[in-house]
Amino acid sequence: MKTETSQPTGTGEIEPTVTMTAIPVWLMALLFVLLFFGAWYFDLYGGWFDARVYAPYRSVPDLARYQPNSDPDANFVAFGKKLYSENCAVCHMETGVGNPANGCPPLIDSEWVHHEAPDRMIMLISRGLTGPITVNGKVYNTGTMLAVGDSLPGDEKEKSAKIAAIASYVRRHFGELPGVVKPDHAEAVRAGIKDHSGYFTAEDLMKAP
């Protein structure tokens, strides 16, 4: 900091000279504190803008929530999950463990669910199933599955879409099979069984892909 002091000169006049003095430590400290407080305050309140302008995401999960859903079929499968809860879980349970005491086989570890082609699943959901069926080495023969798919509300197109959604959810969730069953495919399979009346048997299903 520059201060002016007065020096006597030969002519009797006072000549100003310039000398240096240090800034007081307390002032430096105060400036630092003010600067720090200012930065902190600005960060907190975003300079009176919404704080999200400066720090839009506070965590990685927060950021992920704002990303577009990378699975284009997520809504379709979620629709299937809802229909499964409403129409299948009463017998096969939400968790897919089934109710073996009442003849309802499990969907987890089931070769019928893991089966590559979805045709058999579309068939049995549509018309139901009766008679002996082996699931994961165990024979089930005391229960009958009703024609749940056929009795879903809606016209043929809507039924097919709903059955495809249920099959998609069951295959993904209990069978760990990727992809979805297309409504068009369900409609085609259903067109192929339109003359079949009554429940299917495991034997009938084995003839399908």
Which stretch in 13-21, 48-56, 61-69, 136-144 sits in contact with ligand HEC by CB under 6 A?
136-144
91 binds ligand HEC (CB under 6 A): yes
The phi, psi pair for 8, rounded to 5°, reads: -70, 140
Closest CA to 204 of 132, 149, 152: 132
- Of 47 and 131, the one with the shorter C-beta distance to ligand HEC is 131
Q: Computed from CA positions of residues 168, 157, 155, 192, in that sequence, does the dihedral angle turn out positive or negative?
A: negative
112 binds ligand HEC (CB under 6 A): yes
- In the list 77, 122, 123, 148, the residue contacting ligand HEC (rule: CB under 6 A) is 148
134 binds ligand HEC (CB under 6 A): no
- Of 121 and 177, the one with the shorter C-beta distance to ligand HEC is 121
145 binds ligand HEC (CB under 6 A): yes
Q: Which 8-state DSSP code applies to residue 134?
A: E
Query: Pattern of binders to ligand HEC over 163-192, x per CB under 6 A?
Result: ---x---x----------------------
d(CA 102, CA 35): 74
d(CA 151, CA 57): 47
- Of 58 and 138, the one with the shorter C-beta distance to ligand HEC is 138
Give min distance, CB of 69 to ligand HEC, in A. 25
Give min distance, CB of 178 to ligand HEC, in A. 18
Angstrom distances, CA of residue 144 to CA of 104, 125, 135, 137, 201: 8, 12, 14, 19, 10
Angstrom distances, CA of residue 119 to CA of 99, 186, 192, 204: 24, 8, 10, 12
Which stretch in 14-22, 40-48, 90-98, 183-191 sits in contact with ligand HEC by CB under 6 A?
90-98
